[in-house]
Structure 1
Amino acid sequence: MKVGIIGCGSITKFRHAPEYYDNPHITEIVFYDRNPERADALAEIFDGKVVRSVEELFEDESIVAISDCSSNESHHIFSTQALLSGKHVLTEKPIALSVEEAKEILEAQKKSGKILMVDHNQRFTKAHQKAKEIIQSGELGKVLTFKTNFGHSGPESWGVNKSNSTWFFKKDRSGYGVAADLGIHKLDLVHYLLDDQIEQVSAFQGTLDKVDEHGDPIEVCDNIICNLRTQKGRLGTAAFSWTYYGEEDNSTTLYCEKGIMKIYHHDQYQIEVITKDEERINYKLEAIQTNDNQTNTGVIDAFVDCVRNGKEPIVTGQDAVDSLKAVLAIIESAETNQVVNV
């Protein structure tokens, strides 16, 4: 398979490109970025080729699939065009900045008949897949309540330009700040683990510390705290932050009828189960992918497998729309100080 990548920022450099490069079924990677030097640099690292316009990717019939790693406001444009040009597409999250834009992509996927997968990569970690297995086994009974967190020191230390001018801080490009960057991962994870949907939310947001390249507070939230109710009646809390200085937090706790499951709380054990009878069962699986610990996410391998074998992706376009709706409801709640139905 020959693949193309739109956008040559950090997500391409550290995740998409190396994972395509290591996949035995990929013969060549073709890079496009509106900053040509970024595409040139990655093509040199990963023995790929470069095009100077995105249309060249769409028109190249030898390119089977495309990763859309553009900034958030462009996903509905590039992913739609890629699908309609006959390419299978892996879109970065969030799928779009509005439900209407997301529907453009879904309609293009339906019209094209090609595979659309969205990079909600937390579904792919061994710990989260094991956690889902434990829940489905019924050994802990029903999940009653939950809490989940995702925070690190901010995208200015992760982004390709390593500065406060990052597009993540711009409302017209990132849309919803930390909620669309980190929060959407955990909202999707709740849907995945619980086989449920977030139905009702209340939230508070703030721009507490981050400033832009001019020293002014950024245009989007750097922290958001949420209360969540699911369709099946579970209650939960969520906290998302770009100001966890010193250490990332990627943890989730599930409180069940017969015990507690802690995910990514312990340095050595990715899952800790404490039963109602106070028995402790620890699972040592794999360390989670972090900004400082770049390992294979499994996303690219899964996407390539879907394309080669016609499989349904573990994260569909509709899954991504459901998570986007939850983000939009959280932002609306934070802005209006009201409880919002998703």
Structure 2
Amino acid sequence: MKSLLIILCCLFFFNPTFSQEKPLRLGIAGLAHGHVGWILGREHQNDINMVGIFEQNKELAERLSKQYGFSMDIVYDSMEEMIKATKPNAVAAFGNIKEHLAVVEASAPKGIHVMVEKPLAVSLEDAKKIEALAKKHNVFVLTNYETSWYETNFKAKSLLDEGKIGGLRKAIIRDGHKGPKKIGVSKEFLEWLTDPELNGGGAIMDFGCYGANLMTWLMKGKKPKTVTAITQQLQPENNPNVDDDATIILNYDSAMAILEPSWNWPIGRKDMELYGETGALYSDNANQLRIRESTGYSSYTEETLFFKDRPIPYDDPFSVLAAVINGSLKLEPYGPYTLENNMITMEILQASVESSKSGKTIMLD
């Protein structure tokens, strides 16, 4: 009997399913991104254990330490030091976008998975280097978008795939707010958001990525044939070095998308309109979806649906990261978080920037 108990205990502790339930050891790379509050202020859950933070700006680290209650003992001066001391399974990047490549370069060779805030990189060149590292070292590199948490977007795609409004013909996706300075982001966040080297551009990158990401998902990985973009600078006093308003047109074989990323919206927004052959879907926000079906020349029926937040683990990007790594969740092909989606997203963004600067339409291969 004693021997049997010992065998059972050994099986319990070495069972692969049991090991998968261990909390993910998560390191944080940078604190200058305003979205870092999503992890620092995250309510305790058993799937994630934040083990270390890399941040060289000690004033920033101490300020956030007091605000969120983490110990300065877990703050390190370099990625290498943080990784060596804490041995994370994954790293979440919350510095500027230019630093994403360096985070993957430090993590991937050690078998450490990475999740970055949108967009994936400041340029297609950096994105290709990230992709090569991820493939070489067999690690996940996920990109987090707030719109990945919107149940309305997933319901809209499901209805579109079911043929509720016929084939997709036009999409209009609007994202943005009044502008980083006007909404009062931190000085550390503002410094790099309005730096073309660290952010890759202004609103065209910061909010253009949402529409490019969603369209790549809706089109199941199909690229647009052409990309045309124009930008404006409507707040030169606040954004002297970057654009703050953009319009991007994506031309597909049988559909067109108009993306409207801006730091000049009077009200913050992340909404999507999908127009098909027989109706339209309006994803107004995270929780409200309207369905209009044509009944005549200008008449239609309208139904408004309300949704709660997405179910676990989809309601939280860190839960998604943990579930993907432990194998309990397999992301759909070209889903918003996936690397294959975000490589196409970066092609669209790169072409958008080139088009806005040259005044020409860019052909995609």
Under a length normalisation based on structure 1, what TM-score does the superposition of the two structures give?
0.87
- Residue 36 of structure 2 corresponds to 13
**Residues 126 and 46 from structure 1, CA distance in 2 versus in 1: closer, same or farther, beyond 3 angstroms?**
farther
What 5-or-longer segments of structure 2 have no aligned partner? 1-23
1:243 aligns with 2:243: no
Partner of 1:159 in structure 2? 185
> Counterparts of 1:10-159 in structure 2 under 5 Å?
10-19=33-42, 21-44=43-66, 45-47=68-70, 49-60=74-85, 62-156=87-181, 157=183, 159=185
The 8 Å contact of residues 59 and 85 in structure 1, kept in 2 or not, is answered as no
Task: Tell me, in whole angstroms, the C-alpha distance in 2 between the residues paired with 1:303 and 1:66.
Answer: 10
Query: 3-state SS of the aligned residue for 1:331?
Result: helix
2:215 to 190, 200, 217: 190
Equivalent residues of 1:253, 1:263 under 8 A apart: yes
How far residue 211 of structure 1 moved from its aligned partner, in angstroms, is: 2.2
Which one of the candidate residues 226, 229, 240 is aligned to 1:203?
Answer: 229
2:324 to 306, 309, 314: 306
- Cα 1:279–1:89 change in 2 (3 A) is same
SS at match of 1:22: coil
Say if 1:203 and 1:61 are closer, same or farther in 2 by CA, change over 3 A: same
Asked if 1 retains the 8 angstrom alpha-carbon contact of 2:169 and 2:276, the reply is yes
> What letter is aligned with 1:263?
S
Residue aligned with 1:70, SS? coil
Is residue 274 from structure 1 mapped to residue 292 from structure 2 by the alignment? Answer: yes
Displacement of 1:250 in angstroms is 1.8
Percent identity, please: 19
2:97–2:121 Cα contact (<8 Å) kept: yes
The 10-residue stretch of structure 1 (303-312 or 248-257) with the greater mean CA deviation from structure 2: 303-312
Q: In 1, distance between residues paired with 2:290 and 2:120?
A: 32
Deviations, residues 33-60 of structure 1 (Å, cap 9, x unaligned): 1212323344452535222222112324
Length, aligned pairs only: 325
Aligned partner letter, 1:270: Q
Deviation at 1:262, TM superposition (A): 0.9
Closer/same/farther in 2, CA of residues 326 and 78 from structure 1, 3 Å limit: same
- 1:60-108 Cα offsets, whole Å, 9 max, x none, are 4631110012201111111222111221110122211222211211111
Aligned to 2:27: 4
CA contact (8 A) 1:32 1:39 kept: no
CA distance in 1, matches of 2:282, 2:289: 6
- The verdict on how the C-alpha distance between 1:26 and 1:287 changes in structure 2, with shifts beyond 3 A counting, is closer
Higher alpha-carbon deviation: 66-75 or 279-288: 279-288
Deviation at 1:194, TM superposition (A): 3.3
In structure 2, relative to structure 1, the CA distance for the partners of 1:101 and 1:316 (3 Å cut) is same
Could you tell me how far apart the structure 2 residues matched to 1:23 and 1:110 are?
A: 30
Mapped partners of 1:330, 1:339: distance in 2: 9
Shift of 1:188: 0.5
CA distance in 1, matches of 2:155, 2:241: 38
Secondary structure of 1:27's counterpart equals: strand
State the distance in 1 between where 2:114 and 2:159 align.
31
Separation in structure 2 between the aligned mates of residue 111 and residue 311 of structure 1, nearest angstrom: 22
Which amino acid in 1 is paired with 2:272?
Answer: T
Show structure 1 runs of 4+ deviating over 3 A.
10-13, 40-44, 310-314
CA deviation digits over 1:253-288, x for unaligned, max 9?
1111121111117xx961100111222121101489
Q: Secondary structure at the match of 1:243?
A: coil
Deviation of residue 142 (structure 1)? 0.8
**Counterparts of 2:104 and 2:237, CA distance in 1:** 31
Q: Which has the larger radius of gyration?
A: 2
CA change 1:143–1:90 in 2 (3 A) is same
User: Does the 8 Å CA contact 1:127/1:286 hold for their aligned counterparts?
Assistant: no
- Supply the distance in 2 between the matched residues of 1:85 and 1:226 (Cα, whole angstroms): 38
Distance 2:101 2:356 in 1: 25
Query: SS where residue 198 of structure 1 aligns?
Result: coil
Q: Post-superposition shift, 1:145?
A: 1.1
2:79·2:106 contact (CA, 8 Å) conserved in 1? no
SS of structure 2 residue aligned to 1:208 = coil
Against the structure 1 CA distance between its residues 297 and 341, is the aligned structure 2 distance closer, same or farther, given a 3 Å change threshold?
farther
